[in-house]
Amino acid sequence: MRLMKSIYSMFQASRRWNQTFHQAVDGWGFTRFPCEWCVYIRRSPFGTVIFAVHVDDTLSIAWPPEENTRFKNELKSKGENSDLGPAKFALGIAIERGAHSISLSQTAIIICTIDRF
């Protein structure tokens, strides 16, 4: 038998999700970084958006900030999603914003590793 649609938790479901996602963002004018296929960029007369996707999470940055809002609205047009606001934690890295700086820390994963061993 041949499936006409991918089914959640089947081996090919994540591949199909990635293909569908790529087609959508490609249609919005994004291109993949040649060296990192999970990072996309769009440059337009309105501004620049760069985002990374990991499994089903995205982390985006844009200038001007309105471009990030536009990108989030494009994502919402394709289905249900959640906007968790400014990133505080991504891929095991804590993100803290200061007045004129951004600090990255892997303290949580270091403590977890120490506890484990």
Mean residue pLDDT of the chain comes to: 89
Answer whether 0.75 is exceeded by the pTM.
yes
% of the chain surpassing 70 pLDDT: 92
Domain map of the chain by residue range?
1-84, 86-117
Nearest-5° angle of CA 39, CA 112, CA 56? 30
CB atoms within 10 A of CB 114: 8
> What integer is the mean pLDDT of 83-98?
90
Beta bridge partners of 51: 40, 60
pLDDT digits (tens, 9 = 90+) for 26-78: 999 999 999 999 999 999 999 999 999 988 789 999 999 999 999 999 999 98
pLDDT of 22 strictly over 60: yes
pLDDT of 4 strictly over 80: no
CB atoms within 10 A of CB 71: 23
